[in-house]
């Protein structure tokens, strides 16, 4: 029997310039997986490559083959000096690490869903090119099951941990159903664009304005929104429910007086304003206007930090779930040790068990005992094979099982 191994680099062990050089595209992984598996002599192999990690998961009968795998991979990448950044885990520790990665509990942002999809994709690729087998197939299936349990049974993905998504979550708390809410994106900053994109997905109508109208047109095409003239902002401000300001301007674009006039024209229906600009582009006094909810970048970061703390608490609960799944997998792996004995027992008793109900019961108990005590399987097999021919009626059962200690 072999062991499960995990080796590689991730954001905890290696700087980004090392991870970049070791990264493998799906096409590259498809080409080198069979070559590495054969050359290193490992029985099964998979590569997971993302922006934050490049990790090789293998099943091997010897550690020497895994060490050779590491050497060959680094040579393939022409980066032997990266060895000092590599980690190597074996057995239960490796299984737990793989489950943790699949469940996003080992991610830079705990609970982010992208890693689970990447994990699944790398597994499917390795299985397609034939470098996984009985062990890794079962391991990855159980890892994905564990990931689902963690998401369902904990709150690791419940709260927003990006500034853009935090803005959307706050908007939901203010307006409830965001479908058909009108959103104005002022400027073309990256975080503002992300927030607008999130809002688009939940059914909001998106409007974009920018000092350069052509830029607004380009972004509106990208987001599936409508471009508006920057100089006409006061005319349409009253129609907007959510305003995201994300520009590089050095002055206030939304002033208290401008927003006061807009709120009066909209009969003081609630308005949510998110100022993601640095420096701020919304006058702080805007937050004192009736029914206006103003959040700046620091407010959003405070929400994110609180949510991150909550996620870390949930991650501890998630690890308890993972250890439960690791134990189940290891029990299954241990049970494989007795398979040759069970198959041989069934083979040598094939004719007799069909005719003798008592013999079938005895065989069933022997197999059950092997599964419960894999280490004793050779002894149970020897005793059964040598002495069961002398067992008849109800005699001899206790004799067989009393001998499992090798006496």
Assess whether 84 and 111 both reside in one domain. Answer: yes
Q: Which two tokens stand for residue 91?
A: 């057995």
Domain contains 311: no
Task: Describe the crossing of helices 357-372 and 339-348 by its angle, rounded to 10 degrees.
Answer: 170
pLDDT at 395: 40
What percentage of the chain's residues is helix, strand, coil (to nearest 5)? 60, 15, 25
Does the active-site annotation cover 46?
Answer: no
Q: Please check the confidence at residue 9 and state whether its pLDDT lies above 60.
A: yes
Under the phi-then-psi rule, with left for phi > 0, alpha for psi from -120 to 50, and beta for the rest, what region is 386? alpha
How far apart (Å, rounded) are the C-alpha atoms in residues 259 and 237?
A: 8
∠ CA(46), CA(48), CA(52), 5° rounding? 160
Domain contains 207: yes
Instruction: Specify whether the CB–CB gap between 184 and 237 falls below 8 A.
Output: yes
How far apart (Å, rounded) are the C-alpha atoms in residues 392 and 204?
A: 79
Assess whether 274 and 197 both reside in one domain. Answer: yes
Q: Tell me the per-residue pLDDT of 145-155, one tens digit each, with 9 for 90 and over.
A: 999 999 999 98
Closest by CA to 8, choosing from 83, 99, 93, 117, is: 83
SS3 track for 18-59: HHHHHCCCHHHHHHHHHHHHHHHCCCEEEEEECCCEEEEEEE
pLDDT at 376: 66
pLDDT at 319: 95
Biggest alpha carbon–alpha carbon distance for the chain: 102
Domain contains 182: yes
Q: Say how many domains are in the chain.
A: 3
How far apart (Å, rounded) are the C-alpha atoms in residues 272 and 99?
A: 40
Assess whether 274 and 221 both reside in one domain. Answer: yes
How confident is the model over 32-39, as a mean pLDDT?
97
Assess whether 167 and 283 both reside in one domain. Answer: yes
Q: Point out the catalytic residue in the list 24, 46, 51, 204.
A: 51
Query: Which of 123, 153, 183 represents a domain boundary (last residue)?
Result: 153
How far apart (Å, rounded) are the C-alpha atoms in residues 136 and 342?
A: 23
Assess whether 287 and 367 both reside in one domain. Answer: no
Cα 287 to the chain's mean position, in Å?
Answer: 38
Assess whether 64 and 32 both reside in one domain. Answer: yes
Assess whether 67 and 126 both reside in one domain. Answer: yes
Assess whether 173 and 272 both reside in one domain. Answer: yes
Q: Please check the confidence at residue 394 and state whether its pLDDT lies above 50.
A: no
Assess whether 88 and 168 both reside in one domain. Answer: no
Question: Which of the given ranges, 86-100, 308-322, 342-356, has the highest pLDDT on average?
Answer: 86-100
How far apart (Å, rounded) are the C-alpha atoms in residues 312 and 355?
A: 60
Residue 355: domain span = 349-405
**Residue of 60 and 391 predicted with greater confidence:** 60
Distance set, CA 11 to CA 50, 108, 252 (Å): 10, 7, 39
Assess whether 122 and 234 both reside in one domain. Answer: no
Domain contains 364: yes
Query: Which of 289, 304, 319 represents a domain boundary (last residue)?
Result: 304
pLDDT at 347: 63
CATH label of the domain that carries residue 251: 3.40.50.720
Closest by CA to 123, choosing from 91, 153, 90, 101, is: 101
Domain contains 339: no
- In the predicted model, what is the mean pLDDT of the chain? 85
pLDDT at 397: 37
Domain contains 357: yes
Domain contains 326: no
Q: Please check the confidence at residue 28 and state whether its pLDDT lies above 70.
A: yes
Concatenated DSSP letters for 144-208? Answer: HHHHHHHHHHS-TTTS--SHHHHHHHHHHHHHS--TT-EEEEES--HHHHHHHHHHHHTT-EEEE
Give the list of residues 6+ apart from residue 259 with CB closer than 8 angstroms, or none: 237, 271, 273, 286, 289, 292
Assess whether 91 and 118 both reside in one domain. Answer: yes
CATH label of the domain that carries residue 25: 3.30.460.30
Assess whether 146 and 179 both reside in one domain. Answer: no
């Amino acid at each position: 029997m072999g062991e499960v191994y995990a080796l590689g680099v991730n954001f905890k062990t290696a700087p980004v310039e090392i991870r970049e050089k070791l990264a493998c595209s799906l096409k590259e992984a498809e080409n080198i997986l069979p070559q590495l598996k054969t050359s290193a002599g490992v029985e099964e192999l998979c590569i997971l490559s993302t922006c934050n990690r490049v990790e090789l998961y293998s099943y091997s009968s010897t550690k020497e083959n895994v060490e050779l795998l590491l050497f060959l991979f680094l040579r393939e990448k022409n980066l032997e000096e990266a060895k000092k950044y590599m980690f190597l885990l074996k057995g239960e520790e490796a299984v737990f690490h793989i489950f943790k990665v699949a469940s996003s509990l080992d991610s830079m942002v705990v609970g982010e869903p992208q890693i689970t999809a990447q994990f699944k994709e790398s597994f499917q690729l390795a299985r397609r090119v034939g470098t996984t087998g009985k062990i890794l197939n079962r391991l990855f299936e159980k890892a994905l099951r564990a990931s689902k349990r963690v998401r369902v049974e904990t709150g690791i993905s419940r709260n927003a941990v990006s500034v853009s998504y935090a803005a959307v979550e706050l908007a939901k708390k203010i307006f409830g159903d965001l479908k058909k809410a009108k959103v104005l994106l002022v400027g073309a900053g990256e975080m503002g664009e992300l927030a607008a994109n999130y809002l688009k997905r939940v059914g909001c109508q998106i409007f974009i304005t920018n000092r350069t109208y052509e830029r607004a047109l380009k972004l509106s095409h990208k987001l599936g929104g409508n471009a508006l003239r920057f100089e006409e902002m006061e005319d349409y401000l009253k129609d907007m429910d959510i305003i995201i300001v994300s520009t590089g301007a050095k002055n206030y674009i939304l002033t208290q007086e401008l927003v006061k006039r807009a709120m009066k024209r909209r009969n003081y229906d609630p308005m949510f304003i998110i100022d993601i600009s640095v420096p701020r582009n919304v006058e702080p006094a805007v937050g004192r206007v009736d029914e206006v909810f103003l959040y700046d970048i620091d407010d959003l970061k405070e929400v994110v930090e609180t949510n991150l703390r909550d996620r870390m608490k949930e991650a501890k609960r998630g690890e308890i779930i993972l250890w439960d799944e690791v134990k189940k997998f290891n029990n299954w792996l241990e049970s494989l040790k007795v398979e040759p004995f069970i198959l041989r027992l069934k083979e040598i008793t094939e004719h007799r068990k069909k005719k003798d109900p008592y013999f079938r019961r005895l065989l069933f108990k022997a197999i059950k005992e092997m599964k419960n005590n894999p280490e004793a399987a050779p002894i149970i097999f020897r005793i059964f094979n040598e002495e069961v021919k002398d067992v008849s009626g109800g005699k001899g059962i206790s004799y067989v099982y009393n001998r499992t200690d090798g006496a």
